[in-house]
Amino acid sequence: MNSVPNDNRIQSLFNHQEKAFLEGENRTYQERRGHLLSLRKLILENEDQILEALKKDLGKCQFEGIISETLFTIKEIDHTLKKLKKYMKKRWVFSPLLQFPVWSRIRPEPLGKILIISPWNYPFQLLMSPLIGALAAGNVVILKPSEVSEATSKVISELVPKYFPESVVGVVEGAVEETQALLSLPFDHIFYTGNGVVGKIVMEKAAQNLCPVTLELGGKSPCVIMGNNDLDLVAKRLAWGKFFNAGQTCVAPDYVLIQEELYPRFVENLKKYIEEFFGKNPKDSSDYGKIINKRHLKRLESYFDKKGDDLIFGGEVDEEKDYLSPTILRANVDSPSMKEEIFGPILPIISVANFDEALGAVRRHPNPLAAYIFSQDNHYIERFIEEVPSGGMCINDSLVHLTNPNLPFGGRGASGMGSYHGYKSFQTFSHMKSIMGRGTFLDLPVRYPPYKGKISLIRRLLSWFG
Ligand code: NAD
């Protein structure tokens, strides 16, 4: 890793890309398609190396690495390749007759120089998925992987120069200092994924250059279990969504609010599935990940008392191995685990008397990135959709809404601003230029001074011809 911040290298990479962009790099359909194919090739030719790095950083097993990082990215590339021509088309729109002879159209244009900053929990996908949109839209890009997932950052910085000219995609490794140096440059868009505290720093720095930002942040994503339900299936789906990547997923169900009569049966089913998935000792399971580092392990340990009554399952820690077993807590709205986003394999369960109490508990927190409801009762589902202001939602499952490229992915309020995936990514990294053209063979005199006596005619023409 570049441990010494190299401002010169950062500045010269930026200048190099700026010049390339001005000279028309990555504008044509063929060039954009070519770069997307290069990214595809990078993944296919080096998948083992990428998966190995993910294993080193997060103990990520091959299956989870493939479906949530490499294959996930390839599917997004394929979707974009299929639609790219259509995305790039200029779109004709209706013009007011009063302006006749006239035409109007919208032309998607690249924004220019893009900075993408990613976090450590899906360290490959969260850097490459926005890159797909940025390249498809015709931009040049600097990637800043997370220094916390060091092995993946290193692999990315080694591979990218083999598949891309630095004038189109460059990588800057590093931590706060390097990121701050990047943030002070006049990019045309900054795409940041990570926590909200740094999100505010990003926005502040970007404001100095009037640079637009996309902020993909986190939050406490609630999961409500209400009324009629197949509790066995609910527990199975939730155990998967919560303990995938050892709970270190931005849209992981953070806590459960469950109708009190369902509580005992749900907890028994949940324990059953944790054991079925990861065995009696998850530490020995090759399918269960590790906590990213000791700092995060310490943070997670502070959410529960190992000897307390609230710990109803798990809670085993091995500091040497950055291991925390899948853990279930009996909680209430004021428990330590309910103060901030958990971002780890701890699931607090709160029993509630009714749906209104559940909604009241959800409203104690800022808008979450995702919200989940498990129910067979439509009136609960409809109220949940209507009354919970979250980034996205999934009914009767968790996480899987992210796999649909036709659904924009992003937060709202404290969980972020802007969104991406599929066409939304292309839009995020494009400027939609409005263009009107007028013919010269007709020129109504009514708009020209002297104006005296013309306003009533203008009113009439506008009401007839819009
Ligand atoms: P992180 O520590 O890797 O930080 C993210 C990026 O910010 C890194 O590249 C890092 O170098 C940079 N950074 C850190 N401190 C900085 C500073 N002071 N100035 C400038 N740059 C700085 O990751 P994290 O923030 O711990 O990530 C976890 C958070 O991200 C969680 O809240 C999670 O919910 C959220 N997240 C959101 C999404 C999403 O798609 N919305 C996805 C994954 C994670």
Per-residue pLDDT of 5-14, as tens digits, reads 467 999 999 9
Place of tokens 């269960």: 288
Q: What is the DSSP string of 256-318?
A: EEEEGGGHHHHHHHHHHHHHHHH-S-GGG-TTS---S-HHHHHHHHTTS-TTSTTEEE---EE
Cα-to-centroid distance, 118 and ligand 1 (Å): 6
* pLDDT the model gives residue 3: 39
Interatomic CA distance for residues 311 and 330, integer angstroms:
6
- Cα-based distances in Å from 233 to 41, 221, 236, 240: 38, 20, 5, 11
Q: What is the mean pLDDT of residues 217-241?
A: 97
Per-residue pLDDT of 350-374, as tens digits, reads 999 999 999 999 999 999 999 999 9
Cα-to-centroid distance, 225 and ligand 1 (Å): 30
* pLDDT the model gives residue 4: 42
In short, whether 179's Cβ falls inside 6 Å of ligand 1 is yes
Per-residue pLDDT of 258-270, as tens digits, reads 999 999 999 999 9
* pLDDT the model gives residue 2: 39
Positions marked catalytic: 216, 250
For ligand 1, mutation pick of 68, 129, 143, 146 (most atoms within 8 Å of CB): 146
Interatomic CA distance for residues 463 and 461, integer angstroms:
5
With beta carbons less than 8 A apart as the criterion, state whether 224 and 266 touch.
no
What residue owns the CA closest to ligand 1's atom 37?
217
In short, whether 217's Cβ falls inside 6 Å of ligand 1 is yes
* pLDDT the model gives residue 112: 98
In short, whether 216's Cβ falls inside 6 Å of ligand 1 is yes
* pLDDT the model gives residue 98: 86
In short, whether 102's Cβ falls inside 6 Å of ligand 1 is no
Amino acid at 226: M
Interatomic CA distance for residues 300 and 220, integer angstroms:
14
How confident is the prediction for the chain on average, in pLDDT?
A: 96
Q: Which domains does the chain have, with CATH numbers?
A: 7-217+416-431 (3.40.605.10), 222-410 (3.40.309.10)
Per-residue pLDDT of 290-321, as tens digits, reads 999 999 999 999 999 998 889 999 999 999 99
Sheet strands side by side (includes 91-93): 91-93, 102-110, 430-438
Q: What is the mean pLDDT of residues 105-112?
A: 98
pTM: 0.96
Taken in order 133, 135, 141, 142, is the CA torsion positive or negative? positive
What residue owns the CA closest to ligand 1's atom 6?
119
Give bridge partners of residue 313 from the DSSP assignment.
Answer: 328
* pLDDT the model gives residue 160: 98
Residue length, the chain?
Answer: 466
Interatomic CA distance for residues 120 and 54, integer angstroms:
10
DSSP code for 70: I
Interatomic CA distance for residues 183 and 204, integer angstroms:
9
Name which of 278, 435, 420, 246 is nearest 347 in CA terms.
246
Six-digit token string for 224: 């409500």
Cα-to-centroid distance, 280 and ligand 1 (Å): 33
* Torsion on CA atoms 202, 414, 296, 55, rounded to nearest 10: -80
Cα-to-centroid distance, 216 and ligand 1 (Å): 9
